[in-house]
Amino acid sequence: MRIRIPFTRFPVCLLLAFLPLSAVTVTAATLLPSTEIPELRESADLSDGQEAMRRKDYAAALLIFTRKADSGNAAALFALGYMHQHGLGVDASAMASETFYWQAAKLGNVAAMHNLAVLLAARPGSVAEATEWLTKAAEKGSGRAALAMGRLITDGPNAKTQAADAESWFRKAVQAPELKEEASFTLAVFLDPTLTGTDGRSKEGRKFLESSAEAGYQPAVLALSDALLRTKEGARAVEVLRKGDAAGSTEAAFRLASLNFEGRVMPANPAEALRLYTKAAEAGHPAACNQLASLYQAGKGGVAADPVKAWEWFLKAATLGLPMGQFNAGVCLEDGLGVAKNPAGACQWYCQAALSGYAPAQNRLGLRYQEGQGVMKDPVAARAWLREAAMQGFEAAMLNYAAMLAGGQGGPRDIPNAVTLYKSLAGKNHPDALHGLGLLMESGLAGPVDPPRALALQQLAADRNPAAKARAEALLKVLSPEDKTKAAAYVKDPRTLFPAKTEG
């Protein structure tokens, strides 16, 4: 028996971009390329090299720094390491960068010690050497090195046993004026990862968090607003986000827009939500682009339905790399919403989102491979993508994958796993799962033929699944009164359909 569960289509307008207002994750410091090298601002003898960097005349800067480095100038060696690390005027080369940093560090350049340690920490087997250089830099007063040292410990295998050492390094970093906001935020998260605790350490952590947020450090602003929302301090959360928005944070604008749209901690204000979504979207915030597109698609939030504008904003969200936006752009292309239909183009966007692990896209791409729409028909690829989505608990994919397993499509028939998937959804009273499981029970593929259970499953799904209704009516015509009575008992108490197994 070939069993196929129909795919449930989800309207694109329902896939809104409300992202969780979760605390910001603390990650290792990264070095960003610049048109000048901040660490050289105090090096008067390299001012001509800095000026060349500001003009983006990297060839001239490279020549100046090389001449100075040849005479043993540690700052110039650092500059060469920086340029090779970021590919400024030269091909990026970790090896060359590490060599120049090492030479500068040996001459006592603190910034080089830190950057060399960052490179070493990312290389397997070199953490001990990285720790040595960070320690030297921190002892010479580098707040950046102290901060990196604390993070190296907390990210390492001995985080618990060396927690006191990490805390000590973080507290030293807080004393560095140029790092006070970032280090205060890091220390706050270290003292209380939830940012909502009430004990002594948590209260101290909250003070550091509020200090960092008040100074305008955006990760702290976002984390504080999230903590305030979780402790039911909505008014303060809104105040913090407004300050973040005023300081230019597109994420703060997006979150504030969502609060205005939802009306969760303030009266709903669609006009203000639209203004803030538009502001964040125009600044390149991917989720804001997707949400703004959703509003235009549905004609909600104070805007008239406009499929063309919706498509344009979905496309921008997709281009910016948002998996949800990529999926929605694919839906627009597949269904011709605001743009000409293009099944192949739709599948390209589905693939982008699927590769990022976005379950709805994995499911949709699997179906397209199964049907050969927009891509060459490939049951093996279909089964693989549906499995990826099913493993994430995406219900539509669980149903579609179970159907492929039961039918032996794209691989060997696997009834036990199909039954497991159907049962997990049937336990949630999912009509398609009840129908699919009923077919297996009726056919005997899931074990001995069991007409009463098959009928009960179809009857439980009948009011929501036309195929189940038709099958139930067909079974009622052929089953014995005894089987019908048993089925009625199962319907009355569905828990008896699959009694829990007992030990012993």
For the cut 70, the answer to whether the pLDDT of residue 110 exceeds it is yes
Who has greater pLDDT, 175 or 7?
175
Contact of 137 with 113, CB cutoff 8 Å: yes
Please list the alpha-helical segments (H only) found in 263-357. 270-282, 286-298, 307-319, 323-335, 343-355
Say how far apart CA 36 and CA 61 lie, in whole Å.
10
User: Could you report the per-residue pLDDT of 354-409, keeping only the tens digit for each?
Assistant: 999 999 999 999 999 999 999 999 999 999 999 999 999 999 999 999 999 999 99
Rounded to whole angstroms, what are the CA distances from 57 to 54, 74, 257? 8, 22, 42
In which band, very low, low, confident or very high, does the pLDDT at 146 lie, cut at 50, 70 and 90? very high
In which band, very low, low, confident or very high, does the pLDDT at 445 lie, cut at 50, 70 and 90? confident
User: Burial of 293 by CB count in 10 Å (0-12 exposed, 13-18 middle, 19+ buried)?
Assistant: buried
3-state secondary structure of 465: coil
Count of beta carbons in the 10 Å neighbourhood of residue 51: 14
Say how far apart CA 299 and CA 307 lie, in whole Å.
9
Contacts 24+ apart (CB under 8 A), 317-322: 317/17, 317/286, 317/287, 317/289, 317/290, 317/293, 318/349, 318/352, 320/284, 320/286, 320/289, 321/286, 322/17, 322/286, 322/287, 322/289, 322/290
Among 3-17, 75-89, 318-332, the least confident range: 3-17
Among 3-7, 49-53, 148-152, 223-227, the least confident range: 3-7
The contacts of residue 356 (CB under 8 Å, 6+ apart) are: 323, 326
Contact of 228 with 237, CB cutoff 8 Å: yes
For the cut 60, the answer to whether the pLDDT of residue 35 exceeds it is no
Q: Is the dihedral of CA 371, 376, 380, 386 positive or negative?
A: negative
The contacts of residue 419 (CB under 8 Å, 6+ apart) are: 437, 440, 446
For the cut 60, the answer to whether the pLDDT of residue 493 exceeds it is yes
Residue that has been written with the tokens 């990529």 in this structure: 326
Tell which residue, 238, 240, 243, has the closest CA to residue 257: 238
Tell which residue, 307, 327, 308, has the closest CA to residue 317: 327
Supply the pLDDT for residue 501. Answer: 58
User: Could you report the per-residue pLDDT of 260-274, keeping only the tens digit for each?
Assistant: 999 989 999 999 999
Say how far apart CA 112 and CA 200 lie, in whole Å.
38
Length of the chain: 504
Tell me, letter by letter, the H, E, C secondary structure of 336-358. Answer: CCCCCCCHHHHHHHHHHHHHCCC
Contact of 363 with 401, CB cutoff 8 Å: no
DSSP state of 26: P
DSSP state of 12: G
The contacts of residue 90 (CB under 8 Å, 6+ apart) are: 58, 62, 83, 84, 96
Q: Which two tokens stand for residue 93?
A: 């080369």
DSSP state of 263: T
Who has greater pLDDT, 49 or 498?
49
Supply the pLDDT for residue 333. Answer: 98
Say how far apart CA 237 and CA 423 lie, in whole Å.
43
DSSP state of 28: -
Domains detected in the chain: 1-9+322-413 (1.25.40.10), 430-498 (no CATH)
Question: What percentage of the chain reaches a pLDDT higher than 90?
Answer: 83
Say how far apart CA 256 and CA 411 lie, in whole Å.
48
CB neighbour burial string for 485-500, b if at least 16 within 10 angstroms, e if fewer: ebbeebbeeeeebeee
Say how far apart CA 280 and CA 142 lie, in whole Å.
36
User: Could you report the per-residue pLDDT of 464-489, keeping only the tens digit for each?
Assistant: 999 999 999 999 999 999 999 999 99
In which band, very low, low, confident or very high, does the pLDDT at 38 lie, cut at 50, 70 and 90? low
User: Could you report the per-residue pLDDT of 233-250, keeping only the tens digit for each?
Assistant: 999 999 999 999 999 999
Say how far apart CA 190 and CA 205 lie, in whole Å.
8
For the cut 50, the answer to whether the pLDDT of residue 49 exceeds it is yes
Residue that has been written with the tokens 């101290």 in this structure: 204
Q: Please provide residue 46's backbone torsions phi and psi, each rounded to the nearest 5 degrees.
A: -115, 15
User: Burial of 244 by CB count in 10 Å (0-12 exposed, 13-18 middle, 19+ buried)?
Assistant: buried
For the cut 90, the answer to whether the pLDDT of residue 11 exceeds it is no
> Whole-angstrom distance between the N-terminal and C-terminal Cα of the chain?
36
Say how far apart CA 488 and CA 335 lie, in whole Å.
43
Rounded to whole angstroms, what are the CA distances from 254 to 127, 136, 264, 292, 385? 39, 42, 15, 10, 32
User: Could you report the per-residue pLDDT of 164-222, keeping only the tens digit for each?
Assistant: 999 999 999 999 998 999 999 999 999 999 999 999 999 999 999 999 999 999 999 99
Beta strands in 12-82 (DSSP E): none
